[in-house]
Every structure is written in C-alpha cells, then in structure tokens.
Amino acid sequence: MPHTTPPRPSDPEPPATPTAPTDLGLVDGLAQLSFAIHAALGKVAAGHDLSIVQLRMFGVLRDREPGMQELARHLGLDKSSATGLVDRAERRGLVRRSPSPHDRRSVQVALTEQGHQLAREATVEAGQHIHALAAHLTDEQRAQLSLLASAALAGPAPS
C-alpha cells in the first residue's frame, strides 16, 4: 500500500478551479433569470413605495404620452385596472391626464416633473441591480446576452 503524507496545516490549499455553469435548459434558464430580474425590480419598486406594475407604467411613460387604452395594452391590463393605476399615481403627483388632441372622449397620460425624476432614479437603480446579475460575465458574454435577449423579444424575422 503506498504511503501518502497528509497535507500539513501550513500547506496552501490548491487553487480552486472555476466550475462551468450548469445548463438549466432554455425554459428553466429563462424562467429563473426572469425571477431574478423580477426580484430586482421588486426591490427598486418597493424602495419608491410602488408596485412592480406601477414601476412598469413609469417605464412606459418615460418617453411617450399614451391614451388610457394604449397604456392598458402596454401593461397587459384591462382599461379599468390601468385607470386605477393612473388614479393612484395622479394622487401622488407623479402623472397627469390631459385631453387627447385626436379624440375629445379620451385622455392621454404623462409623467409630471416629479414623475420623470422618479422614473430616472428607478431606471438607474434597476440598471444597477440588473448589471449586478451579469457582473460575473465577461464583456463579450454580456454583449452576446444583450443581443440574444433583443432577438428573442423581437420575434421571428419577417420572411
């Protein structure tokens, strides 16, 4: 039987070898990534006393002034739910309604200056949280992930 000498306490530990990530598969990988992003956005929303849906509304309103129907469609809500969302934000002075120039029966929704400020802060914070999720990736991997996410969201290319 060969004799081996046990490592002495003063012997350095062998360097740890990085382990390759386990392939979760497309469905589990994207689902778990969406859970991590949802949690990050939840922290940002909670920090501003908002729900995630309200945070999403600020994302929609950052660069447009949609009508209620269009806002509801962007958020995947029925019009009455979107109206309640706008009502709550309006009471906080974050959004305002104005008559639609195209249809006197409808209104457009826009961020107030206070709403724009909140949207800017939340965008920065969300960016920090999401960048932290990918911090261990190389620059090339982050660029590839960005392109793949954009391609997946764009849908199939026209034939």
Asked, for residue 145, whether it belongs to a domain, the answer is no
Q: Residue 126 sits in a domain of what CATH number?
A: 1.10.10.10
Q: What is the pLDDT of residues 6-53, one digit of tens each?
A: 555 555 555 555 566 788 888 999 999 999 999 999 999 999 999 999
Asked, for residue 6, whether it belongs to a domain, the answer is no
User: Which residue would you say has higher pLDDT here, 84 or 101?
Assistant: 84
pLDDT category, 159, cuts 50, 70, 90? low
The 3-state DSSP class for residue 108 equals strand
In the prediction, which pLDDT does 23 show?
85
Residue ranges making up the domain that contains 103: 36-131
Asked, for residue 49, whether it belongs to a domain, the answer is yes
Average pLDDT rounded to a whole number, residues 75-79: 94
- Examine the pLDDT at 110 and tell me if it is beyond 80: yes
